[in-house]
Amino acid sequence: MYRERVVITGLGTVNALANNIVDFTHALQGGLCGIGPITLFDTADFRTHNGAEVKNFNPQDLIPPEFPLKRMSRADLMAFAATIEALSDACLFPLPDALREDTGVVIGAGSGGKLEGESFYRDYLESGGRNARFSKLASLCPAASADHITNHLGLMGPKTTFMTACSSGATAIGFARDLIERRAAAIVIAGGVEPLCRTTYASFNVLQAVDPEYCKPFDKKRQGLSLGEASAVVILESLHHARERGVSIHGEVLGYGISCDAYHMTTPDIKASGAARCIQAALADAGISAAAVDYINAHGTATPANDVMETRAVKNVFGAHAYRIPISSTKSMTGHTLGASGALEAIVSVLAIRQHFIPPTIHLHEYDPECDLDYVATGARQVTPDIVLSNSFAFGGNNTALILGRFAEKGIQNE
Amino acid sequence: MSRRVVVTGIGMVTPLGIGKERFAQALFQGDSGIGEITAFDTSRFPSHLGAEIRDFSPRDLISAKNLRRMDRLSQIAVASSRLALEDAEITINIANRDRIGIIMGTSFGPTDLKVHCARILFTEGPMMINPILVPNSVMNAPAGHASIELGFRGVNTTVNHQAASGETAIVYAAMEIERGAADIILAGGADIISEFLFETLVRFRALSPVNRGKEGARPFDAGRNGPVAGEGCGIVCLELMEHARERGATPYCEITGWGMSSSPATPTDWPADTRGATLAMMRALKSANCVPDGIDIIQAAANGGENPDRIEADAYLHLFKAEKTIPVISSIKGALGESFSSGGLRAAALALSIREGMIPPTLGLADPIAPLSFIIDKAKKIDIRNGLLNAFSYGGTNVSIAMRKVTIR
């Protein structure tokens, strides 16, 4: 079967560091922290109070006035704002009519409209069901974000939503790649979205997985993750379509792999077999050797279990090369954006390739003895990565690894 | 050379019974799974009917050690997965476990559990949520539990897109096998009725009898007045044809192609026209290298909803208007209600139809809304070569899957 090469021609995001790609790039280069006190809801009754909240998010500033924003949840609005930015970046906004049938949407989601659903449910409980407006639930389903995108833009290509907790966004990009590769679509709006909400925040709190301060990936004193929120959207396109349009290419999706721990619902398999197998599957899919990888954007949640497991997985796959590859966890800046994180970190990886830098792991001061790789702890590094591996490991043992590369006409040449 | 994908096993937990034998018997006999809801009191609602799972004892199919960590949604998914593997005569071992996976679909996930957590959040406080429940509150929990209980470690993901979740999961599973990412993938969907989901559907005027008439599921019938809520899980075991042949398995059918499309619609509304539905079917036919004339049976999405059934019937009239023969159109939602992620169940029903050469009746249908070919009273025997499985969801998501009779060897 002939496979189309799939390239990235547009990027868009709303996250705790910035509400657009330019500011996001600067924040990553400067090693800024987006984690602080949560203001979206009252955290008085929670064990912790910090999170990586999106700031100064005014949808009407980011979304053109022709789109009615009624009945869209915070998640839908964040996803749509990022979509508009990504399409504009790809010179696809407004989208030509001729492309509507051939443009799809694949979103990795998490809580969807839960923040609004929670206020509904509080009213429901207080009034015994009488004064609650069920219309508030219209966008409760995580699929609503993709539905709003296709509805607003009049798209008729393939559409779906993945919900695999922390690996949703990465899987969405992988599936979108497959759709284009086999010509089920020429363009796919792919990404992830996750809003902060009370139930998610409570869930990680009762699991004691949240660092009360801010997350410190790979650090000896790490206590857990910092929950965050974000939307992250990439425009994927067949190489030949992008060439025909003469548009600038940000990078290429070289491969991806999915595996399952089949071990425990919330604890990663400490032997790191599942994580290693998805990385190996991604390398094989990309047709590259482990030695070709220049940078690893780690899952790096800063939970005690993940960081040791992930370090082990990298050593298992890369052998001696593991010590030479820069690795960083940008969750130290953006927080862990769960359903969005795989897509957000794919954007980070593309920015690293495009802007010639490796973003740092901030808040890492004292290495855990079991975490002894090069985590880029002292600020961004000016190098030129060509091939980046981005890891996402989720509850349920769902692992997805993405490999993104600098676009080269001839494709990747193995050394 | 392209890698072909076949269905080698089916497993299900449904209102018509647990497992293939009971399900097939009830389906072709024309039994209905619909009755008065027993799980909760419906007296405050205008709707009272549902297709509930009955006589399901998870202990028979799931180890106690893992069962005690599962909610009801995960239980039906894991039990169905085990049944599908057994039906396919596959034993998971160290040699094959990394090449076997699961792709699940769910539309609403564990709504019972999520509402319980929200209630604790607001009544007792956020730190009173039981941490044991947290892992089950994510949509991908059923697939995670299945992997732990059954021991397969390959591709594992969960689609969560309205009433097309199960069909999309099957499409993705076929794609993964085709591109070589796995040899065997269990694929399908699961949803359960909870009191809160039922109330929400009532308040969105999404259930029979929306405005008028007697409550009931009547797909494609002139007197239809909304769907009846259903629940259940159906899993099909998809396998690389070569792999099935090597181990001597007898496939039900082959997955020969698929098409996906969107239609403009808000998340809770139906599209205004047939374009998206037609596009998905045309894409499926094209990828299966099949002409509309070659289709013998369509496993339709129709559930008795006023707008969606009309649009679907119009799409068939449009697609087959120039053809000499039109396929028989069947909807099992007259017997099973609308269980949202019904793709796995309906794929299993179509696989059975193809293997048995038998089409189940569309219960509740007496006065068809369009001059199409329906099986009304009782199951009919016909030779089936090609079938289409269609999902047309609210929110404007369309998936069409082409399945073909296969004889390997």
pLDDT tens-digit readout, B53-102: 999 999 999 999 999 999 999 999 999 999 999 999 999 999 999 999 99
- Whole-prediction pTM value? 0.98
pLDDT (average), residues A118-137: 90
Task: Give the per-residue pLDDT at B408.
Answer: 52
Task: Give the per-residue pLDDT at A109.
Answer: 97
Regarding the domain delimited by A6-245, which CATH topology (the fold level of the hierarchy) does it fall under? Peroxisomal Thiolase; Chain A, domain 1 (3.40.47)
Q: Identify the active-site residue in A152, A241, A250, A299.
A: A299
Q: Give me the count of residues in chain A.
A: 415
Q: Which residues of B touch A277 (CB under 8 A)?
A: 98, 153
Edge-first strand listing for the sheet containing B49-51: B34-36, B49-51, B229-230
Q: In DSSP terms, which residues pair with A163 in a beta bridge?
A: none
Q: What six digits make up the tokens of A390?
A: 């981005």
**A234 touches A10 (CB < 8 A):** yes
Amino acid present at B246: E
Look up A336 and say whether it is catalytic: yes
Interface check for A121 against chain B (CB to CB < 8 A): the answer is: yes
Q: What six digits make up the tokens of A79?
A: 């996803």
Look up A240 and say whether it is catalytic: no
Look up A356 and say whether it is catalytic: no
Quick check: bond before A94 cis, omega within 30? Answer: yes
Task: Tell me whether residues A46 and B127 touch, CB distance under 8 A.
Answer: yes
**B285 touches B259 (CB < 8 A):** yes
Task: Give the per-residue pLDDT at A415.
Answer: 46
Distances (CA, A) of A134 to A41, A318, B277: 21, 52, 29
Residue matched to tokens 């071992």:
B93
Q: Please state the domain extents for chain B.
A: 5-246, 253-404
**B144 touches A249 (CB < 8 A):** no
pLDDT (average), residues A290-311: 98
Helix axes B343-356, B20-29, angle to 10 degrees: 80
Task: Give the per-residue pLDDT at A3.
Answer: 87
Q: Which residue of B has its CA nearest to A120?
A: B118
Helix residue spans in A113-189 (DSSP H)? 114-127, 144-153, 168-181
pLDDT (average), residues A372-386: 97
Pick one of 3.60.15.10, 3.40.1400.10, 2.120.10.90, 3.40.47.10 as the CATH number of B5-246: 3.40.47.10
Task: Tell me whether residues A162 and B160 touch, CB distance under 8 A.
Answer: yes
Q: Which residues of A touch B155 (CB under 8 A)?
A: 258-260
Interface check for B139 against chain A (CB to CB < 8 A): the answer is: yes
DSSP three-state, residue B390 = strand
Which of the residues B43, B98, B108, B160 would you substitute to probe the A interface, choosing the one with the greatest number of A C-beta atoms within 10 Å? B160
Q: Say if residue A311's pLDDT is above 50.
A: yes
Residues 6+ apart with CB under 8 A from A158: A104, A105, A106, A179, A184, A185, A188, B260, B261, B262
Q: Does this chain's domain A6-245 share its CATH topology with A253-405?
A: yes
Q: Identify the active-site residue in A33, A152, A166, A197.
A: A166
Number of CB atoms found within 10 A of residue A412's CB: 18
- CA B273-B277-B283 angle, to 5 degrees, is 140
pLDDT (average), residues A246-251: 98
Task: Compute the 3-state secondary structure of chain A and give helix, strand, coil in percent, each to the nearest 5.
Answer: 40, 20, 40
CA B94 to chain A, closest CA, distance in angstroms equals 13
Give which of B3, B387, B1 is closest to B173, Cα–Cα: B3
Instruction: Please provide residue B104's backbone torsions phi and psi, each rounded to the nearest 5 degrees.
Output: -100, 155
Interface check for A118 against chain B (CB to CB < 8 A): the answer is: yes
pLDDT band at A128 (very low <50, low <70, confident <90, very high): confident
pLDDT band at B409 (very low <50, low <70, confident <90, very high): very low
Q: Which residue of B has its CA nearest to A177?
A: B175
Q: Does this chain's domain B5-246 share its CATH topology with B253-404?
A: yes
Q: Which of A156, A266, A273 sits opposite B276 (nearest CB)?
A: A156
Q: Which residues of A touch B129 (CB under 8 A)?
A: 202-203, 206
CATH class of B253-404: alpha beta
pLDDT mean across residues, chain A: 96
Instruction: Please provide residue A290's backbone torsions phi and psi, each rounded to the nearest 5 degrees.
Output: -60, -35
Q: Say if residue A145's pLDDT is above 90.
A: yes
Q: How far apart are CA B72 and CA B56, in angstroms?
A: 11
Task: Tell me whether residues A395 and B125 touch, CB distance under 8 A.
Answer: no
Task: Give the per-residue pLDDT at A2.
Answer: 73
- CA B50-B55-B58 angle, to 5 degrees, is 115
Task: Give the per-residue pLDDT at B323.
Answer: 87
Q: Please state the domain extents for chain A.
A: 6-245, 253-405
Helix axes A198-206, B111-123, angle to 10 degrees: 80
pLDDT (average), residues B360-382: 95
CA A377 to chain B, closest CA, distance in angstroms equals 32
Q: Give me the count of residues in chain B.
A: 409
Q: In DSSP terms, which residues pair with A316 in a beta bridge?
A: none
Q: Which of A104, A118, A258 sits opposite B156 (nearest CB)?
A: A258
pLDDT band at A129 (very low <50, low <70, confident <90, very high): confident
Q: How far apart are CA A66 and CA A151, in angstroms?
A: 13
Task: Give the per-residue pLDDT at B325.
Answer: 85
Q: Which residues of A touch B109 (CB under 8 A)?
A: 163
Q: How far apart are CA B241 and CA B249, in angstroms?
A: 9
Interface check for A199 against chain B (CB to CB < 8 A): the answer is: yes
Percent of chain B beyond pLDDT 70? 99
User: For A20-65, what is each residue's pLDDT tens digit?
Assistant: 999 999 999 999 999 999 999 999 999 999 999 999 999 999 999 9
Q: Which residue of B has its CA nearest to A208?
A: B131
Contacts A–B by Cβ distance under 8 A: 237
CATH class of A253-405: alpha beta
Task: Give the per-residue pLDDT at A413.
Answer: 61
Distances (CA, A) of A273 to B219, B300, B408: 48, 42, 36
Amino acid present at B134: V
Environment class of B102 (CB within 10 Å of its CB; exposed 0-12, middle 13-18, buried 19+)? buried
User: For B289-340, what is each residue's pLDDT tens digit?
Assistant: 999 999 999 999 999 999 999 999 999 999 999 888 899 999 999 999 999 9
Task: Tell me whether residues A203 and B134 touch, CB distance under 8 A.
Answer: yes
pLDDT (average), residues A388-409: 96
CA A137 to chain B, closest CA, distance in angstroms equals 8
Quick check: bond before A268 cis, omega within 30? Answer: no
Q: How far apart are CA A381 and CA A4, in angstroms?
A: 33
Distances (CA, A) of B135 to A131, A340, B129, B321: 31, 18, 12, 50
Q: Which residue of A has its CA nearest to B125?
A: A45
Interface check for B181 against chain A (CB to CB < 8 A): the answer is: yes
